[in-house]
Amino acid sequence: DSGVTQTPKHLITATGQRVTLRCSPRSGDLSVYWYQQSLDQGLQFLIQYYNGEERAKGNILERFSAQQFPDLHSELNLSSLELGDSALYFCASSLTGTDYGYTFGSGTRLTVV
């Protein structure tokens, strides 16, 4: 157990729907990152939050949004889902907003049918 908790582990939904992925960071960590791993692809950075504020943004689609709550957990909202959104979504956390050896959760596998 890495200490980073992601729920749900698996999600199957239809095109056009909206889903919410949840991440609880490791205790004491203030920063949360979201990454997407599509089939045979590396991890693509989506967004980073630090202590509730957006710190950095990657190639995140406009249909996707995220936030970090006062208790530091984070949610990634994916809407108007398309088949191509099927992927593994990883959350990671770190103590500060600039350290790089951060801890990943085990991911949420999203399948859009």
The residue ranges that bind another protein (CB under 8 A) are 2, 4, 31, 33, 35, 40-45, 48, 55-56, 58, 90, 92, 94, 96-107
In angstroms, what is the minimal distance from the CB of 19 to another protein? 19
By C-beta, is 64 or 90 nearer to another protein? 90
In angstroms, what is the minimal distance from the CB of 24 to another protein? 13
Q: How far is CA 67 from CA 23, 71, 100, in A?
A: 10, 11, 20
For the four alpha carbons of 1, 29, 102 and 93, in that order, the dihedral sign comes to positive
